[in-house]
Amino acid sequence: MEKESNLSPLIPELLCRNIDVSVEFYTQVLGFSIRYQRKETRFAMVKREGAQIMLDELDPGSPRSWIAGPLEAPFGRGMNLEIDVSNVKELYDRVTSSDAKVFLPIEDKWYRADDIDLGVRQFIVLDPDGYLLRFSERIGTRPTQFAG
């Protein structure tokens, strides 16, 4: 196991309906590896290129279930997780050759950040529980195109 100091300062924990299905999706389709697991509590920490995500199987009867309201699929509505990768096209090809649901096909997009535009090549895929995962690769910067 890696030293605790290798933990990211922000690690989302995603509830899932079936930990085995989620771990298979994250590792086999998205190329994450298992950092560690607690099979007895249906939990896994996965990682890819520095990004880390905790996967926790839903157990509504547990006193440690942190559910603030009714939970129904798709989970994570209103939120997407952007994950930087070194080769987004390769990952996109891998995702589209699986039965994963692509929410946003691959695109080049420029986002204004004050007086520059930040370029990314990105796509969004839904995980088995409906979380939106936005994989992106930085493609450069340019002077902003915004006139105003």
**Domain range summary for the chain, segments of one domain joined by +:** 4-59+74-143
The pLDDT of residue 147 is 65
The pLDDT of residue 73 is 86
d(CA 37, CA 48): 15
The pLDDT of residue 71 is 81
The pLDDT of residue 60 is 75
Identify the CATH number of the domain defined by range 4-59+74-143. 3.10.180.10
Could you list the pLDDT tens digit for every one of the 148 residues in the chain?
Answer: 555 568 889 999 999 999 999 999 999 999 999 999 999 999 999 999 999 999 999 987 777 777 877 888 888 888 999 999 999 999 999 999 999 999 999 999 999 999 999 999 999 999 999 999 999 999 999 999 776 6
* Overall pTM surpassing 0.75 (yes/no): yes
From residue 87, alpha-carbon distances to 38, 43, 59 in Å are 30, 28, 36
The pLDDT of residue 4 is 58
Q: State the SS3 of the chain.
A: CCCHHHCCCCCCEEEECCHHHHHHHHHHHCCCEEEEEEHHHCEEEEEECCEEEEEEECCCCCCCCCCCCCCCCCCCCCCEEEEECCCHHHHHHHHHCCCCEEEEEEEEEEEEECCEEEEEEEEEEECCCCCEEEEEEEEEEEECCCCC
